[in-house]
A = this chain, B = another copy of it.
Amino acid sequence: MTLDQISFAARFDGITGSAIREIFKMIAKPEMISFAGGNPSPDALPDQIVSEIAQSVLQKDGKRILQYGATEGYPPFLESLSKYAASKIGCESPSVLPVTGSTQAMDLLCKALINPGDVILVEDPSFLGNLQCMRLYQAKLVPVPSDDEGIIISSLEEAMAEYHPKMLYVIPDFQNPTGKTLAADRRRKIAELGAAYGVVIAEDDPYRDLRYKGEPLPTIKSFDREGWVVFLGSFSKIISPGMRVGFMAGDRRIIRKCTLGKQSADLHTANLTQAIVDRFLRENILDTHIPAICKGYARQMEAMLEELDTFPTGTSYTRPEGGLFIWVELPEGIDTKELLNQAVERHVAYVPGTHFYANGGHFNTLRLNFSNSTIDQIHEGMGVLRDIFGKVL
């Protein structure tokens, strides 16, 4: 029998791969100015520090680091992470689980909770990588409308009452892709609605520390009384995405189920990368590293916003207080997916906004990332986009 006759699992029906990952490959050329992806700036990646730490932890605890570890985590990291998570989240002694990037946290949460056909409520638009994850678990994605302050609470409550969802997936700070931040009173309300309707709230907060103006808002998890909120954390944006270290924090019963799921997913996250992040936490390296990163990113964001101010009339865009992304809406009728090829030919890339919508559409939108380009590249690349979009208008 030839392999053409193989039948793959139904969960892959209609799954074609993350648009971002495909665009990544298209833009691998070094001359490309990429506003796609969510890559940290090369300047923000602490390669010298990590090199020293890697050597040091291996000298000190090499045999244990190279041996099998517990699914629950590398013990020293489990200790420092628990403190870190409690303080970051504003929640007393949550159960934590180190994971192989917060991508895995989402996967484990779906594994723990989702049967095919279960409903997950999502922001509209939302992070496409995690939308794909939910689709692979054959969840039914139901978008909930947002305004400038995030998810609209009355719509959320209606959706909970109507669809009996298993989960709400929400990115409260500097949302991906819009850059919007969820208002504080809505955070409290979301935690309450989760408990009222028995819906797990997946609070995905990888950008929390990348705040360039304004004051930090309390997490949704900090308002959680019954344990329905699970916080997904990441070190990708503040240390390194290539190390694949993130965590989830929440009620013991949910974390336990995710730990079981992780046993057969990858047994445990590499001890070496856990040990490296542990050292960052123990030595308070982030206290100086994060402000340094934010300084650079704030400048990059301002340069991009400045360019957007000169875009054709009818263009609107967000003015985030942090994070990595600006969301742009062009006048109706412009198709950013079609125009991407023109942009890439002129060595500029972005992600068409349609990919972030659970039900597609919205072809006049796009997501721009500013963290992975220099100020000069931002001016040059935005000039190219202004030209391309301007011609169609």
A: residues with CB less than 8 A from B are: 1-3, 5-6, 8-12, 15, 17-18, 21, 24-25, 37-40, 42, 45-48, 50-52, 54-55, 58-59, 62-71, 99-101, 103-104, 106-107, 111-115, 129-130, 132-133, 136, 195-198, 200, 226-228, 236, 239-244, 251, 253-254, 257, 260-261, 263-273
Q: Which residue of B has the minimal Cβ distance to A271? A: B242
With A12-B112, A67-B45 as contacts: A196 and B242 at CB distance below 8 Å: no
Distance to closest chain B CB from A177 (angstroms): 16
Instruction: Please name all residues of chain B whose beta carbon is closer than 8 Å to the beta carbon of A200 when the two chains form the complex.
Output: 6
Contact of A129 among B21, B69, B257, B263 (CB under 8 A): B263
With A6-B200, A244-B269, A263-B17 as contacts: A58 and B51 at CB distance below 8 Å: yes
Q: Which 4 A-B pairs have CB atoms at the shortest separation, nearest pair first? A: A47-B62, A133-B264, A51-B58, A66-B240
Instruction: Please name all residues of chain B whose beta carbon is closer than 8 Å to the beta carbon of A264 when the two chains form the complex.
Output: 18, 103, 106-107, 129-130, 132-133, 136
Contact of A25 among B47, B70, B251 (CB under 8 A): B70
With A260-B17, A272-B272 as contacts: A8 and B198 at CB distance below 8 Å: no
Whether the pair B46, A66 counts as a contact (CB closer than 8 A) is yes
Whether the pair A1, B196 counts as a contact (CB closer than 8 A) is yes
Q: What does DSSP make chain A's interface, helix, strand, loop or mixed?
A: helix
Whether the pair A71, B195 counts as a contact (CB closer than 8 A) is no
Whether the pair B66, A266 counts as a contact (CB closer than 8 A) is no
Contact of A39 among B17, B42, B68 (CB under 8 A): B68
Whether the pair B272, A54 counts as a contact (CB closer than 8 A) is yes
Most B-side CB within 10 Å, residue of A24, A50, A242: A242
Whether the pair A65, B47 counts as a contact (CB closer than 8 A) is yes
Query: Could you pull out 9 A-B pairs where Cβ atoms are within 8 angstroms?
Result: A10-B115, A21-B71, A51-B62, A100-B266, A100-B270, A107-B266, A111-B136, A129-B263, A270-B273
Instruction: Please name all residues of chain B whose beta carbon is closer than 8 Å to the beta carbon of A67 when the two chains form the complex.
Output: 39-40, 42, 45, 240-242
Most B-side CB within 10 Å, residue of A8, A63, A257, A268: A8
Q: Which residue of B has the minimal Cβ distance to A261? A: B136
Whether the pair A101, B266 counts as a contact (CB closer than 8 A) is yes
Instruction: Please name all residues of chain B whose beta carbon is closer than 8 Å to the beta carbon of A103 when the two chains form the complex.
Output: 264-267
Instruction: Please name all residues of chain B whose beta carbon is closer than 8 Å to the beta carbon of A107 when the two chains form the complex.
Output: 264-266
Whether the pair A37, B68 counts as a contact (CB closer than 8 A) is yes
A45 to B58, CA, bound (A): 11
Whether the pair B272, A6 counts as a contact (CB closer than 8 A) is no
